[in-house]
Amino acid sequence: MGVNCDRPQRWKRDIALSVDLYNDWFLGFAPNTYRQERVTATANVEAMLERTGYLRKLSFRELSEHPSVLFGLRMCTAPPIARDRLVGLAGVPRALVNRMEKDACLPPQMKRPALKKAVEKMIAMIVRLIDVDIFPWLPENRVPTQQEVYRAATIVADRLCGANANPIIRNAQERRQLDKIGTWLEGRGYTDVTGKAAMNDMQAGTFAFRLNVPGLKEDHKTVNIPVDAVVMPRKAKTGQLPVMIEAKSAGDFTNTNKRRKEEAAKIGQLRRNHGQAVCYALFLCGYFDSGYLGYEAAEGIDWVWEHRMDDLKKLGL
């Protein structure tokens, strides 16, 4: 018997309770989380302004040493420009911009002369589009006051956090979910071995967060699958596979239906490598409707609702 996947008569009530739980968390904690991120972003923008002579000496060296500031520089223009818009306006490779912003590094395969030329083209476009209402000292060719620097940094930080609001909230919610799982497990005698053991090394009564578990693609190529929580039951038998838990939260119903195939792909790769005995479950909080639940159930994926955490016991924990 499953935990929740084979009990559709309970889905409607559980969906309502899950939505209420997410909304309560969002109203209580999301604004504070956002403000904290904005404080950090403001400090980072101030540091970037100081390093670049308050944008008067923006150079290839700055972007090569701090590639990720490109995201902030896009928020310094009027209007703020999207990543693909910068690619098109500056005529540079999309892979270069993606690597700088997402991986905080420059593409190693790109030869330095071409790299330098592309970065300088981006700088020229950003300088051309700079928002002089935020940086009034630039057209006046003077040193800004401390108040002007702080005001500009807060405006750019607000734009950064606004453009990145969903990931900020999603990451905070994921951290909270993993903390709850860890607290629940430790309260029942489990030991956290995160960073100290691979899946094959885990002893009974241990767990680890964000552990890579080997899977197999359809072409039988090995792939590492990051799993949020991997738990070896206290009463595990020799050779038993650990329980794998994926933390999922959602602030609306639309995105869950777009993402539901991700879990199906993961469990397929895990079963291909470890067999049908794989125990892979979702830990849900937020907006997951009956369409999403039915899809996951059809794929053989079960779940535990955060508002009823003791269902983790039914996974053998």
pLDDT of residue 1: 67
How many angstroms separate the CA atoms of 180 and 73, rounded? 37
How many angstroms separate the CA atoms of 3 and 14, rounded? 13
pLDDT digit string, tens, across residues 126-155: 999 999 989 999 999 999 999 999 999 999
Q: Is the pLDDT of residue 259 over 80?
A: no
The CATH architecture of the domain made up of 8-28+167-315 is: 3-Layer(aba) Sandwich (3.40)
Q: What is the mean pLDDT of residues 225-253?
A: 91
Residues in the chain: 317
pLDDT of residue 28: 86
pLDDT of residue 258: 67
Domain boundaries, the chain: 8-28+167-315, 35-165
Give Cβ neighbours of residue 181 (< 8 Å, ≥ 6 apart).
Answer: 229, 245, 247, 283, 312
Closest CA to 239 of 267, 199, 281: 199
Residue % of the chain over a pLDDT of 70: 99
Q: What is the mean pLDDT of residues 172-195?
A: 94
